[in-house]
Amino acid sequence: MQQAKKGDVVRVHYTGRLTSGEQFDSSAGREPLEFTVGAGQMIKGFDAGVEGMSIGEKKVINIAFQDGYGPRNEEAIIEFPLEQVPAGMTLETGMQLTLQNQHGHPVPVVVTAVKDTVVVLDANHSLAGKDLVFDVELVEIV
């Protein structure tokens, strides 16, 4: 039976959850996720977990944070001056915003605190520092 190998374009159904069991994403009700194995399109642990699977095979892939979204980076916590926030914009803890880096690329951030003179923004990926569990089914090797 054909097995997924580096360079293959594959289609998978998946459900992603934290080790606590909390689900954070799923392809249920959508088209399967399509990617090229080993091309760096997916997090390292997911890519490696799909390699060697056969069509129709179901598997649980446990991914340590190092092979997922990496550790949380304290340097990605930004204190932004409130005086530079556009007039009339109300900021609340938990609010998601998009900033631009020096190259004009979008950087998603989350407001973690609003203080007297600054707003504290977290630019870490929401899954950084977390171990992940994926239920995966290889649907097709294209």
At 85-112, the pLDDT tens digits run 888 899 999 999 998 888 999 989 999 9
Domain(s) labelled CATH 3.10.50.40 in the chain stretch across 9-70+127-141
Each residue of 72-82: b (16+ CB within 10 Å) or e?
A: eeeeeeeebee
Domain 9-70+127-141 has CATH 3.10.50.40: yes
Where are any strands of DSSP class E within 8-123? 9-18, 23-26, 33-36, 58-63, 77-81, 96-100, 106-114, 118-122
Domain(s) labelled CATH 2.40.10.330 in the chain stretch across 74-122
Asked if residue 1 has pLDDT above 90, the reply is no
Please give the average per-residue pLDDT across 108-134, as a whole number. Answer: 96
pTM higher than the cut 0.85: no
The whole-angstrom separation of Cα 50 and Cα 6 is 10
Over residues 16-49, the pLDDT tens digits come to 999 999 999 999 999 999 999 999 999 999 999 9
Q: Which fold has domain 74-122?
A: Thrombin, subunit H (2.40.10)
The whole-angstrom separation of Cα 84 and Cα 62 is 42
Residue 22: partners with Cβ closer than 8 Å, 6 or more residues away: none
